[in-house]
């Protein structure tokens, strides 16, 4: 006769993983007939033994609990596979079996077996966790020997039509449920009174759902964190602290420095125990938080002091400490952040991180924070301090780093330096476009300079030159902007009325309604003619017909 499918294995096959504590199926008649209550004797002989027939080795048996295995085997939690169990003559022998002292402190019973080498000799099997299907009280940990710091003795009781293990109610030991009379017995049950998943008791992490992924003290727990910016604990009750778990101390883990809620620690030794502690963990008080377990080194940039130079003094999670602390040199990192994939920002504004031939900087990505020039900072508007200053080299980011020369050949600035823009041309008046397009004046290769009225700023009355640009090259206080072809009130200006589309809106005056900005749309980037009216082209993004792209004033004014 084939052996019935183990209860927990059936659950695994039907629900793709034992998450939380699912409702187990009702025992089959074969299962029910194969076991007796704890008061009635021992387990029946293993069903895989058939008199006169040799056993067939079907290979490793996957399991979730010891009960899923043959009577002389137990479940190895690390590999979820049945392995040899420790033999025993009585329950006292099981106190020496290491797996009987697991994290959830379920403890073992001495289960008798027909496979035992001598009569009345059995094998050590851990009790089933709460809310797991059962056939006998013995499987659930009946008797005072199963009472410990985390658990009370258990019984196999009918809850909602299914027999499951439930622990005796104790006001101090009902960590994931409530007291409820089940069959006249005061028991600890899930908060919703069923075993449908809200009862997150567990024996290992793999039984817990992703929202509460860690099995600690017999219950599934979610992650918490200490917010160094607000100086508050997030995710824990008021009387708990967030104890860091070493399992998340990976710099590439977005949950770096997170932990599990629990009581405050009293000594470093409390914090160095497995599975969450480590030898470098300490019991440390945070602002607005009682002492908690955490690494002795930094966890956040906000824990690191300001060095008072171009360095920020960040927390280096790989090396385990604040940069610029101690006797070593300050350094910055020239690689990218493994989470954001963006360049590190280890230097203060106005500085950049460059590789340096400093023998004290031994790591390959180490660099030094040096003053950044205006080109490094993105041009005149970011890197220059004074309106109407130009950034030498901004329009040549990949070209030769030559100095900027004046009309007479004199050096106005070295590459990366700011210098005052000549006046004129940036504030020169004009009568027509040709005036602004004369030789020697600023221009971009794609678009013409124009004589336009500067309506954005009253300091620029009609009749000033708007010099063409190519995304860069404007002085501080100017921005390189597109001049679209307007069709406001005249859809035929686009040639095809369907291309007259809204391109933003103007705010209403005196609190009135806003008015749409209507421009000619296009689809072929840089195309001249075709979709766009004569004298215009399609912009670089293939979105709007434009007359030109020019430097327009934003904050700068001319004398």
* DSSP annotation string for 102-158: -TT---EEEEE-TTSSSTT-EEEEEPPPTT-B-S-GGGGT-SGGG--SS---EEEEE
* Residues 6 or more apart in contact with residue 529 via CB below 8 angstroms: none
315-316/321-322 β-pairing: antiparallel
pLDDT at 46: 41
pLDDT tens track, the chain, 559 positions = 333 333 332 322 222 223 333 333 333 333 333 333 333 333 333 433 334 444 455 677 888 899 899 988 999 887 889 999 999 888 888 877 788 876 667 889 998 876 655 666 889 999 998 888 999 999 999 988 888 777 889 999 999 889 999 999 876 667 666 788 898 898 988 877 887 655 566 667 776 767 677 777 666 777 899 999 999 999 888 888 999 999 889 888 888 999 988 889 999 998 998 888 999 999 999 999 999 999 999 999 999 988 888 998 899 988 888 988 877 788 999 988 887 888 899 999 889 999 877 777 778 888 999 988 998 888 898 889 888 899 998 866 556 778 888 777 788 888 989 998 877 788 788 888 899 998 878 888 889 999 887 654 444 556 788 899 988 888 998 889 999 999 998 999 998 999 999 998 888 777 788 889 999 999 999 998 888 999 899 999 999 999 999 988 888 776 5
Neighbours of 342 (CB within 10 A): 8
Lookup result for tokens 């040899």: 84
pLDDT at 399: 62
Peptide bond preceding 410 in cis form (omega within 30 of 0) = no
Sign (positive/negative) of CA torsion 328, 333, 339, 340? positive
pLDDT at 532: 93
123 close to 129: Cβ distance less than 8 angstroms? no
Structural Rg of the chain based on CA atoms:
38
Neighbours of 471 (CB within 10 A): 12
220 close to 198: Cβ distance less than 8 angstroms? no
168 close to 154: Cβ distance less than 8 angstroms? yes
d(CA 530, CA 475): 34
Strand partners, 463: none
In a 13 Å sphere around the CA of 400, the CA atoms on its Cβ side amount to 3
389-391/351-354 β-pairing: unpaired
DSSP assigned state of 326: T
d(CA 294, CA 281): 5
- Distance, C-alpha 507 to centroid of its chain: 40
DSSP assigned state of 17: S
pLDDT at 254: 81
d(CA 233, CA 535): 63
The sheet that has 366-371: what strands, in order across it? 332-333, 366-371, 351-354
pLDDT at 462: 65
Neighbours of 173 (CB within 10 A): 16
């Amino acid at each position: 006769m084939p052996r019935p499918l183990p209860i927990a294995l059936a659950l695994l096959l039907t629900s793709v993983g034992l998450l939380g504590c699912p409702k187990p199926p009702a025992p089959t008649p074969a299962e029910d007939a194969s076991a007796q209550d704890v008061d009635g004797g021992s387990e029946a002989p293993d069903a895989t033994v058939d008199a006169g027939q040799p056993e067939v080795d079907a290979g490793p048996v996957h399991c979730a609990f010891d009960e899923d295995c043959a009577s002389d085997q137990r479940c190895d939690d690390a590999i979820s596979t049945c392995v040899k169990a420790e033999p025993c003559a009585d329950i006292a022998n099981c106190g020496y079996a290491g797996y009987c002292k697991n994290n959830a402190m379920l403890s073992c019973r001495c289960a008798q077996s027909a496979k035992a080498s001598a009569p009345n000799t059995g094998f050590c099997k851990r009790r089933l966790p709460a809310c797991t299907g059962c056939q006998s009280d013995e499987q659930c940990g009946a008797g005072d020997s199963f009472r410990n710091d985390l658990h009370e003795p258990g019984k196999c009781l009918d809850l909602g039509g299914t027999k499951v293990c439930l622990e005796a109610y104790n006001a101090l030991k009902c960590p994931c449920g409530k007291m409820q009379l089940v069959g006249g017995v005061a028991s600890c049950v899930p908060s919703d009174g069923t075993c449908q998943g809200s009862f997150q008791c567990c024996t290992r992490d793999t039984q817990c759902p992703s929202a509460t992924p860690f099995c600690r003290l017999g219950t599934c727990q979610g992650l918490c964190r200490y917010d160094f910016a607000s100086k508050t604990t997030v995710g824990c009750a008021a009387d708990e602290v967030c104890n860091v778990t070493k399992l998340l101390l990976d710099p590439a883990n977005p949950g770096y420095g997170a932990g599990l809620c629990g009581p405050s620690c009293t000594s470093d030794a409390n914090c160095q125990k497995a599975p969450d502690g480590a030898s470098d963990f300490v019991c440390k008080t945070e602002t607005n938080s009682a002492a908690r377990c955490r690494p002795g080194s930094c966890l956040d940039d906000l824990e690191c002091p300001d060095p008072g130079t171009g360095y920020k003094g960040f927390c280096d999670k790989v090396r385990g400490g604040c940069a610029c602390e101690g006797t070593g040199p300050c350094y910055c990192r020239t690689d990218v952040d493994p989470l954001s994939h963006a360049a590190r920002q280890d230097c203060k504004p106005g500085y950049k991180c460059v590789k340096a031939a400093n023998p004290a900087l031994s790591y390959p990505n180490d660099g030094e924070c040096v003053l950044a020039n205006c080109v490094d900072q993105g041009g005149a508007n970011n890197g220059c301090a004074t309106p109407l200053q130009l950034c030498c080299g901004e329009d040549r980011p990949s070209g030769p780093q030559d100095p900027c020369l004046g009309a007479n050949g004199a050096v106005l600035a070295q590459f990366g330096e700011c210098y005052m823009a000549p006046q004129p041309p940036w504030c020169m008046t004009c009568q027509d476009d040709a005036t602004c397009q004369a030789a020697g004046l600023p221009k971009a290769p794609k678009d013409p300079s124009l004589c336009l009225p500067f309506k954005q700023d009253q300091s620029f009355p009609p009749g000033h030159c708007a010099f063409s640009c190519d995304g860069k090259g404007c002085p501080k206080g100017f921005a390189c902007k597109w001049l679209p072809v307007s069709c406001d009130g005249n859809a035929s200006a686009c040639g095809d009325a369907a291309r007259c589309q809204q391109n933003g809106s103007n705010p209403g005056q005196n609190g009135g309604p806003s008015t749409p900005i209507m421009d000619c749309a296009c689809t072929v980037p840089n195309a001249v003619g075709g979709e766009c009216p004569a004298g215009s082209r399609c912009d670089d993004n293939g979105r709007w017909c434009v007359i030109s792209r020019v430097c327009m004033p934003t904050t700068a004014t001319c004398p």
